[in-house]
A and B are shown apart, each in its own frame.
Chain A
Amino acid sequence: MSPPFPPDPLQERELMLTRRRFFGLSAHSLGAGLGAMALQSILPKSALAATPTLGPHFRPKAKRVIYMHMEGGPSQLDLFDYKPGLQDYYDKDLPESIRKGQRLTTMTSGQARFPIAPSIFNFNKYENNQDGVWLSELLPHTAKLSKDMCVVRSMHTDSINHEPGITFFQTGNQQPGRPSFGSWMSYGLGNANANLPAFVVLISQGIGNMQALSARFWGSGFLGGEHQGCKLRSGKDAVLYLNNPAGVSREDRRRMLDLVGELNEKEYERSLDPEVRTRVAQAEMAYRMQMSVPELTDISTEDEKTLAMYGDDVHKPGSFASNCLMARRLAERGVRFIQLYMRGWDQHGNLPKEIRAQSKAVDQAQSALVKDLQRRGLLDDTLVLWSGEFGRTVYSQGTLTKTNYGRDHHPRCFSLWMAGGGVNPGTVYGATDDFGYNITENPVSVHDLHATLLHCLGFDHKNLTFPTQGRDMRLTDVFGKVIPGLMA
C-alpha cells in the first residue's frame, strides 16, 4: 500500500503538481456550484488548503476521543487500586522480594528505608457489570459511572520521569519528535468540521506540584503541521492573535489571504516544500476559526441545570470543569481528538492533602462530562480516556506519619479508566500484587492501549502508517497488541 522507497524525485514532483491541480479544479467548481450559499465567503480561493484523508479500515465504534491526561502521575493506591492488606504493613519495609532491584528515581534512590504507606482514604464498592469495583472516597461522583467505565489496574510504562513518560503516552515513543495520538487521528480520519482543527488541546492548572507541559506533546512530527494540536487558551482570547487588528475588516482579510495564497502557490510549485501547504492550511483554518471559536466558547446558551452538573468551577475559564464543558461542546462540533490536561498530580510529599484537593477539582466535572455525553446519545461513539503517565510507589517518599506521606514515580503498574465508544462498560481489567507494586494479571502496555484505542476507532494499528526515514512509521512503532478484554 505504501509508496516505493526512495521515491523518484522527478516523479514525485509530477505527482505533487497534478495533485495540486486536482484540488485547484475542485476549488473552482465550488465557487460556481454554490454561489448562492453563504458559505462561499469563507471558502479559500487558494487550492493548497485541502488535504485528502485516509478513512478507517473497518467500521469504527468510536468517532472521536476525549483524552483527559492527569499530568504528574495520580496515585493508583489512593484512587483505584484498593489494597486493604497494607494497613498491617504500615511503616514496615517493602520486601526486597517485591522490589526486585527495580530502578528508582534519584528522588528516592538515596533513601535509607522504603517504608510502606497504606492509603489513608476509605474505599467503597460500587456495582458494575461484574462483581463490583472498589473506588476511593476521593471520587464520589466518578463512582456514579461504575457501570459505564472500564477500570484498568494493570497498566505499565517504560518511563520513570514526566517528560519521557508523557511523550511516550502521547506519541508511542519516549524521545520527542513523533506525532502524537491526536495527530494520527487527524491524519487518519480528517476533520468532521472544516471550521475547527481536528485536534484541540485544553490545559487546566492543578493544585499541587506541577511539571512543565511542552507544546511538543501535541506536535505532529513528520505528519505535517496541519495535524498538530491546537491549544485553546482560557480567558478572553481562546486563540491568540485570531482576531483581526483594529481597522481590518473580514473582507480585507479574505482579499489578503487570497493574494498571499497565490504567492504561496507559486512558491509551492517552485520548491514543493510541504511546509508551504501547511502554512496556507493554517492561515485558512485561522480565518474560519475567527467565526467558529467565538461561537464555541460562548456558553451563555447552556442552561443552568447543565452548568450546575459540572460544578461551580465551570464559570472559571480554564478550570477543569470549564474545560470538561468545552470538551463536550467540541465533541458536538465534530472535533476528533480533544485532549484535556490537568496538571498537578506529582505528589512527592503532602500527598493526602494535595490529592484531596486535586481529586475534588476533577471528580464532579469528569463525571458530568460522561453523563452529559451519555444523555445526548454521544457517549456511544465518543471514547473517553482518563490516565496519568505512570503511577506512584507504595512506599513513602520522605517522612511517613499516620496522616502524611509522599509517593515517588512508579512505572511498573498503575490504573486508568475508559468509557464510551467500543469500551467494555462496567468492568475491571487486570490486577496487581498485595503491595500494588507488580502486575499479577493481564498486563497492558502503553502500545497495547494505543492499539486497542485505534481498534475502537476503526484502525488496524499495524496499517495506520506514514512513510518517513525509510520505513512505514506507526503510533505503536513495532509493538502493541489489541486487547479484546477492554472492548465491548
Chain B
Amino acid sequence: MTELLLVFGRFHVVFLHLPLGIFFALGFVEWTAWRKSQGPVPRVWVALATASALLAATSGWLLHEEPGRGEDWVMEWHERLGIAIALGSILCLWLHRKGKVKQYRRTLCLLVTALLPAGHFGGMMTHGDDFLWEPLKQAKEISADATYSSHIAPLLKARCVNCHGARKQKGELRLDTPDWILAGGEGGLAIEPNAPLESELLYRIRLPLEDEDHMPPEEKRQLKPSELELLETWIHAGASFEDPFPWVGQEEQTLEVAAVEEEKESLEPMNLAPLKDALVHVQPLAANTDALWIDFSAPCADMDDAQVRALLRPVLQHIVELNLARTIITDELMPLFQEMPRLEKLDLRETAITDVGLKNLGHHPTLHTLNLVSTRVTDVGISQLKTLPSLQKVWLWNTACTAEGVTSLQKEAPQTHFILVE
C-alpha cells in the first residue's frame, strides 16, 4: 500500500502541470469575462481546477515524505505555497457556488499570482538555482575576469554560509567574510593560497559523496563541476579578496574538466604499471588528482638516461614533483624536463649534471624548486637560471658555485632564493 502511495507521490512531476495550465486558462477567461461584464464560467471548470490543485498538492506532500529528501528553504516554501493554493482553490469553488462573483474572481487572481513563485521554486529544485538566468550570466562571464566579491562570495553564500556563517559555525568554520575564511576552522586552515591541492576546503568538496566529511553534506545541493573549478582557479591564483583572477566562464571550463577526467582514466593503471614494476616510487600528490610525485632516487640509482626516459615518457603531462637525486643520469636527460608542462619541483642532488645540462631548463614556466646540491654546476651555469619565471628556491651547497657568484646573481634575480649554506 505504502509503495502505491509512493508511486502516487512521484506522479507529482506529472500532476503539477495540470493546475498550472487550468488556473492560467481560467484566469484568462475570467479576466476577459470581467472586461466584457459577463458572468463567470460554468462551475465544472472551477471544480476541475480545484481537483487538479488537490491532486498536485497531495502527491507533492507524499513525495516529500519519502526518506532521503532534504530540507531547505526552497523546498519548504514550495510546499507551503502548494498547500495554500490547494486550500485557496476550495475557497474559490465555494465562492463560485455561493454566487459571490467578485470575491471568487479576486481569490482566483490571488491564486494565479501565488502559482508563479510556487512553480519557480519547484523548478529551482529540479533544475538548479539559476536555471532561468544562466544563459544571461554566462554571456557576462565569458569575457570578464572574476573577483572574490562577484563570483566566490555569492557561491559560498549559496552553498556553504547556511552552516558556516553568523548563525551556525559547523566545524568552527565561517565562510562569510575574508577574515573568517582565512582564520580556518577546527581542523586548521581551510584554504592555502596558491595551493589548491593543499586546501582543506577543496579536499572536502572533492571527497566522495558518501564520505561523512564531504562538503556540502550529502543531502544538500551539491556544487557543479564548474563551481568547484571556479573555487580551484581562485585559490590557485592566490585566493585574493580584492584582485580579479582569470575565469573563462562556465562552458569552456566544463569542457576542460571533462578533458582532465578523460586523462585521468587513461592514467590508471596502464601507464603507471611500468614505473611501479621497476620499483620507482610513484604517488599522486593528493586524493582525486592526476598530479604525480615520482621518485627514482632510492632504489633505482643504477638506471641510465634511456631507461629513465622510457619510463617517464608516458606520464610527462602529470609530473609535478620529480626526484632523480643520487642516480646516474647525465646532462643528456635534461631536455626531457621541457616536456613536463606541470613540473614544479626537481631534485638533481648528487648527480653528474653540469652547466651544459642547466642550459636546457630554459624558460620552464612552472619549475619553482631546484636542488643542485653536490653537482658540478658553477656560477656560470646557474646564471642561466635567471630566465626561469617561477623559480623560487635553488639549493647549491657543495657545488663549484662561489659566495660572490651567488650574491651577484641574487641581486639580478631577487625573486629566486639561491641557497649556498656553509
Contact = CB atoms under 8 A, between A and B. Distances in A.
Nearest to B370: A377
Interface in B7-39: none
A313 interface: no
Interface of A: 1, 26-27, 29-30, 33-34, 37-39, 43, 53, 55-61, 189-196, 292, 332-334, 371, 374-377, 380, 451-452, 455, 458, 460, 462-463, 481-484, 487
A42 B179 CA distance: 56
B interface SS class: loop
Nearest to A481: B186
A194 B278 CA distance: 10
A189 B302 contact: no
Given A26-B273, A190-B283, A484-B188, A34 B278 contact: yes
Contact of B277 (A1, A34, A58, A191): A34
Nearest to B320: A59
Contact of A53 (B188, B199, B211, B283): B283
A334 B199 contact: no
B417 to A, nearest CB: 11
B356 interface: no
Interface in B208-240: 208, 210-211, 213
Contacts of A37: 278, 303, 307
7 contacts: A1-B207, A55-B283, A56-B285, A191-B281, A376-B371, A451-B187, A482-B188
Contacts of B419: 375, 377
Given A56-B287, A376-B349, A455 B295 contact: no
Interface residues of B, number: 52
Contacts, number: 134
Interface in B187-218: 187-189, 195, 197-200, 203, 207-208, 210-211, 213
Contact of A57 (B203, B369, B395): B203
Contacts of A189: 283
Contact of A375 (B188, B198, B325, B397): B397
Nearest to A63: B293
A458 B289 CA distance: 13
A337 to B, nearest CB: 15
B369 to A, nearest CB: 8
A397 B347 CA distance: 52
B210 A1 contact: yes
Contact of B297 (A33, A39, A334, A374): A334
Nearest to B289: A59
B403 interface: no
Interface in B286-315: 286-287, 291, 295, 297-300, 302-303, 307
A-B residue pairs, 7 tightest by C-beta: A193-B298, A377-B395, A482-B188, A59-B197, A334-B298, A30-B277, A375-B421
Nearest to B326: A332
A4 B213 CA distance: 17
Interface string B355-374: 00000000000000101011
